Amino acid sequence: MIKDITLGQYYPSGSILHKLDPRVKVMGALIYIISLFIFKGKLGYIATTAFLIFLIMISLVPFSYMIKGLKTIIIFMVFTALINLFMTPGEPVFTIWKLTISKEGIEVTARMIIRLISLILGTSIMTFTTTPNQLTDALERLFRPLKIFRFPVHEIAMMMSIALSFIPILVEELDIIMKAQKARGADFDDKRFTKRVKALIPVLVPLFVSAFRRANDLALAMDSRCYRGGDGRTKMRPLVYHKKDIMAYLILLLYLAIVIVMGRL
Amino acid sequence: MNLIEVKKLIYEYIRRDKDGNVDGITTAIDKVDLDISQGDFVAILGHNGSGKSTLAKHLNAIYFPEEGVVYVDGKDTSDPKNIWDVRQTTGMVFQNPDNQIIGSIVEEDVGFGPENMGIAPEEIWDRVEESLEAVGMYEHRERSPRKLSGGQKQRVAIAGIVAMKPKCIVLDEPTAMLDPKGRADVIRTIKKLNRENSITIILITHNMEEVVDADKVYVMDKGRLVMQGSPREIFSQVDELKEIRLDVPQITELAYELNKEGIPLPKGILSREELVEELCRLL
């Protein structure tokens, strides 16, 4: 069940999106996030959702695979949904005990859910189609101007990409540790919340220990492969914009314009 | 000068208590001398805690000698300006295949070393292709290393080192976490690299079967170099090896037991064919 976490994972399907310059995809994700929050009317939802469906289709990543990533944040979504549902004042639809659900509440919740799902799917399209290394390269290039302020751009980008690529390994490890503790009688399904939290301690401690050990091993491996930070380092895939990247930028701008216009209606 | 020269190397782990006072000293390496020439296939044997991994890390300028010197390709490893040359000359493959993968695609991972060395992109691709072919992983070049088997991951790690064009590869128990098939693949790969690309191999292991074909074997115990010689010389000293908790290859063991039962077999038999031949001669 834990193995289902797919958020932030590369899915090689060789689509046109995979071949785009990673900078386009980072900017694209950013533009998409912005576009989700600049409109008011219903038409905006149609535009953003349509664009999302278009992206999912050309990414050639199976939709069922993408949905798996949503499962992990479902608790968070339900929680925010409930708060919105009950806390929005307005024309009451029905009342349970002291809690009232208003018409506005339903509307706000529905909007929020659509936005959240679009936000997560939109950004995960970027991570599905971009390897962590490409992502690092892109961020490094996009944030290069910050270097003037002695901001360690390369180092932070490197850390991000390593963190991303270690997610599946740590997830697997977590699964093994949980099974091992279950075999020793740990109860992760207890109804009482405090019991469940307590049961997690013997899982988290070994997980952290192993993560540190792995980090140490990886640092050694990087050292012995002559890693010495960003200076003097070359790239296998130097970032160069091609015609298709320019096209992608134009499509993105066009999309943003459409959302702005439709959002006003 | 030999490719690797280690002279009177001493390395100590110092344990300190809470106040920073020295609590105890463990001598991991105690006056070790080592000479390895270009193109050799050398095996270093030893039980856990014998200091063999610590020694390996000295050859790659990860650890620096406390006393004594380590020369790699004529360069003193303790000189900070040699560190990158040393690390490029001797590449290192570690035990856990998962913890040494940096790239999320096989190609990217193999290219990591050359990228760090500041090589031009076209040449990186040539090297990546060459080294993936050398380890027999070329057809997997676009896959995610996480989805490969242990033996395949380890071969990708080797390719990552080969792409840096080292003169020597140090492998620190590369097969300890692998299944028998992965083990055989990795050993075949490093033998091939030794033979065809004349890369010096230093294989650290406690699997005796892997050592049989080495040019020279060193045996370590408690930080000291206790035996050295050809595999045949080493494995004819079965009793001495058992004393430091090391085994011998199964065939050698069988010949040794037969010898004890009064069958006059020569010492240090290494392969099944050899044993068969010797037994036939006795008939």
- Residue by residue, pLDDT tens for chain B (283 residues) are 788 888 888 888 887 877 777 777 888 888 888 899 999 999 999 888 888 888 999 998 888 888 888 999 988 988 888 899 999 999 999 999 888 988 888 998 999 999 999 999 999 999 999 999 999 999 998 888 888 999 999 999 999 999 999 999 999 999 988 999 999 999 999 999 999 999 999 999 888 888 888 999 999 888 888 889 998 888 888 888 888 888 888 888 888 888 888 888 887 788 888 888 888 888 7
- Say yes or no to pLDDT of A7 above 70: no
- Together in a domain, A33 and A143: no
B96 contacts: CB under 8 Å, gap ≥ 6? A214, A217, B177
A162 contacts: CB under 8 Å, gap ≥ 6? A132, A218, B102
3 state DSSP class of B207: coil
C-alpha B259/C-alpha B269 separation (Å) is 11
- Together in a domain, A2 and A111: yes
Which residue of chain A comes nearest to B127, CA vs CA?
A236
Which residue of chain B comes nearest to A160, CA vs CA?
B102
Residue A236 forms contact with B (CB below 8 Å): yes
Interface test with B, best of A224, A231, A239, A240 (most B CBs within 10 A): A224
Q: What is the pLDDT of residue A9?
A: 72
Q: Please tell me the distance in Å from A127's CA to the nearest CA on chain B.
A: 12
- Together in a domain, A78 and A158: no
C-alpha B114/C-alpha B99 separation (Å) is 19
Strands B224-229 and B22-36, sheet pairing: unpaired
Q: How many CA atoms lie within 13 A of B2 on its CB side?
A: 13
Q: Which helix (H) or strand (E) holds A101?
A: strand A99-102
- Together in a domain, A20 and A61: yes
Q: Please tell me the distance in Å from A3's CA to the nearest CA on chain B.
A: 14
| Contact across the interface for A133 and B104, Cβ inside 8 Å | yes
For B77, the token pair is 């490893």
In DSSP terms, B194 is beta-bridged to: none
What chain B holds in terms of domains, given with CATH numbers, is 4-231 (3.40.50.300)
C-alpha A253/C-alpha A260 separation (Å) is 11
Give A8's pLDDT tier (boundaries 50, 70, 90).
Answer: low
| Contact across the interface for B108 and A224, Cβ inside 8 Å | no
CB-closest option in A133, A168, A214 to B99: A214
C-alpha A171/C-alpha B105 separation (Å) is 19
- Together in a domain, A44 and A106: yes
| Contact across the interface for B103 and A218, Cβ inside 8 Å | no
Q: Please tell me the distance in Å from B118's CA to the nearest CA on chain A.
A: 5
- Together in a domain, A97 and A154: no
Which residue of chain B comes nearest to A235, CA vs CA?
B115
CB-closest option in A226, A235, A237 to B164: A226
The mean pLDDT of A79-95, rounded to a whole number, is: 81
What are the residue ranges of helices labelled H in B59-140?
Answer: 83-89, 106-116, 121-134
Find out whether A107 and A90 touch, Cβ atoms under 8 Å.
no
- Together in a domain, A126 and A243: yes
CB-closest option in A162, A220, A226 to B84: A226
Residues in chain A with CB shorter than 8 Å from the CB of B98 are 169, 214
Q: What is the pLDDT of residue A23?
A: 92
Q: Please tell me the distance in Å from B257's CA to the nearest CA on chain A.
A: 41
Q: What is the pLDDT of residue A190?
A: 76
Find out whether A151 and A252 touch, Cβ atoms under 8 Å.
no
CB-closest option in A221, A224, A225 to B99: A221
- Together in a domain, A125 and A4: yes
In DSSP terms, B15 is beta-bridged to: B24
- Say yes or no to pLDDT of A1 above 60: no
- Together in a domain, A180 and A250: no
Complex ipTM, two decimals? 0.86
- Say yes or no to pLDDT of A4 above 80: no
C-alpha A208/C-alpha A79 separation (Å) is 28
3 state DSSP class of B23: strand
3 state DSSP class of B202: strand
* Chain B interface residues (partner A, CB cutoff 8 A): 57, 60, 62, 84, 87-88, 91-92, 94, 96, 98-105, 107-108, 111-121, 124-125, 128, 142-144, 146, 157, 160-161, 164
3 state DSSP class of B93: strand
Q: What's the total number of domains in chain A?
A: 2
Q: What is the pLDDT of residue B124?
A: 94
E runs forming strands in chain B:
4-16, 22-36, 41-46, 67-72, 75-76, 90-93, 168-172, 200-205, 216-221, 224-229
| Contact across the interface for B125 and A217, Cβ inside 8 Å | no
What are the residue ranges of helices labelled H in A11-102?
Answer: 16-19, 22-36, 42-59, 63-71, 74-87
- Together in a domain, A48 and A94: yes
Angle (CA) A144-A133-A56 rounded to 5° is 105
| Contact across the interface for A236 and B91, Cβ inside 8 Å | no
Give A250's pLDDT tier (boundaries 50, 70, 90).
Answer: very high
Which residue of chain B comes nearest to A158, CA vs CA?
B102
> Percent helix, strand and coil across chain A, each rounded to 5?
70, 5, 25
Residues in chain B with CB shorter than 8 Å from the CB of A132 are 104
Task: Label residues B248-270 b or e (16+ Cβ within 10 Å = b).
Answer: bbebbbebbebeeeeeebeebbb
Residue A91: domain span: 1-130+239-265
- Together in a domain, A138 and A18: no
- Together in a domain, A138 and A178: yes
